[in-house]
Amino acid sequence: MKAAVFHGPNQMDVEEVKKPQITDCEVLVKVAASAICGTDVRIFEGKKTKGVRTPSIIGHETVGSIVEVGEKVEGYQVNDRVGIMPVISCKKCHYCLNGMENVCANRTAIGYEFDGGFAEYIRIPKAAVESENLVKLPDQVTFERAVISEPLACCINGQKKAKVKMGDTVVVIGGGPIGLMHVQLAKIAGAKRVILSELIEHRRERALEAGADIVINPLKESLEETVMTTTAKLGADVVIMAIGVPSLVNSSAKLLKKGGTLNLFAGFTNGELTEIDPNLIHYNEININGTSALTRSDYHNALSFIEAGLINTEILSSFGYTLDTINEAITNVSSGEGMKSIITV
């Protein structure tokens, strides 16, 4: 089969590799579409290494159709259209037993410890099958829309951590696909006002389509002045960092009203640190938290939102890529020229 094989930083080659063989307890999926995640970009550029093997096949936002089912597998059939939840939790550790399976102490993931979706076929290991990490897709939801379910599920997890509620003023830092998901989810949660900060013009335009009330270019306008002017100098209830830029953490915290929440949603490069004024936390009683991955419940909710037409997936996606043009797809995500590159297999 054809696959894009990751050999190390900035080296991914399209090669002919052996088609995966499954056991009696596994499932083989023919990939229909895979999406490029910001984390895939960081892996490609050598900025994320945990759990990453070389050579390997990465890619963890994947949908497709089942083509082989192990003899001992129940509940799945050939030709079932499925989405794949990449995080495989152990269901036994302290975190799994306390509602935090997304940060399972023994977690493994498709696209990391197991080969991922930048290939024609993907093997779903026994642990993932048994945990029901394969989700059957509604007939009316296309693969191109369904492939957004995994990152949307992560954003749903982030919205819960940020505790966005009705009447809130929400600031989103970064207008890439993740930022625009947060814009839409904040509006669904009842946010009164969503302000988005983004350097790239076409992303600001898409943010308005996504439902943002105010979009600004932080190089030309003051985000802090905009927030304070529109909130009678109170500040935002929630700020979500949808880009992993350490130098923006402190300035993002300054946008909050007393008791507000800063959610560090995006991943940051290992070893890059930030400075933050502790008095912002102490005197303003603000909350700072993070978000990691998704739960199985988040994935089901994400798919339901897409099925119901609540999420505009078109403005999140850039189409026209294949495995043969995957390097271009990654570059266009990294540069911001595109949105979420969708690889059609």
Distance CA 148, CA 231 (A): 33
- Find out whether 3 and 343 touch, Cβ atoms under 8 Å: no
How open is the CA angle 67-69-70, to the nearest 5 degrees? 145
Structure confidence at residue 247 (pLDDT): 97
* Helix residue ranges, H only, the chain: 38-44, 126-130, 143-146, 149-162, 177-188, 201-210, 223-230, 249-253, 278-284, 296-307, 326-335
Structure confidence at residue 269 (pLDDT): 86
Q: Which H/E stretch holds residue 83? A: strand 81-84
Q: What is the pLDDT along the chain (345 residues), one digit of tens a residue?
A: 999 999 999 999 999 999 999 999 999 999 999 999 999 999 999 998 888 999 999 999 999 999 999 999 999 999 999 999 999 999 999 999 999 999 999 999 999 999 999 999 999 999 999 999 999 999 999 999 999 999 999 999 999 999 999 999 999 999 999 999 999 999 999 999 999 999 999 999 999 999 999 999 999 999 999 999 999 999 999 999 999 999 999 999 999 999 999 999 999 988 899 999 999 999 999 999 999 999 999 999 999 999 999 999 999 999 999 999 999 999 999 999 999 999 999
Structure confidence at residue 51 (pLDDT): 83
Q: Which of 166, 203, 204, 208 is nearest to 188 (CA)?
A: 166
Structure confidence at residue 164 (pLDDT): 98
Torsion of Cα atoms, 264 then 269 then 272 then 273, to 10°? 10
Structure confidence at residue 217 (pLDDT): 98
Distance CA 117, CA 61 (A): 7
Structure confidence at residue 266 (pLDDT): 96
Give pTM, 2 decimals.
0.97
Structure confidence at residue 137 (pLDDT): 98
Structure confidence at residue 285 (pLDDT): 98
Angle of helix 177-188 versus helix 149-162 axis, rounded to 10: 60
Q: Which H/E stretch holds residue 124? A: strand 121-124
CB atoms within 10 A of CB 261: 21
Structure confidence at residue 332 (pLDDT): 96
Structure confidence at residue 127 (pLDDT): 97
- The full set of domains in the chain, from first to last, is 2-148+313-344 (3.90.180.10), 155-290 (3.40.50.720)
Structure confidence at residue 209 (pLDDT): 98
Structure confidence at residue 286 (pLDDT): 98
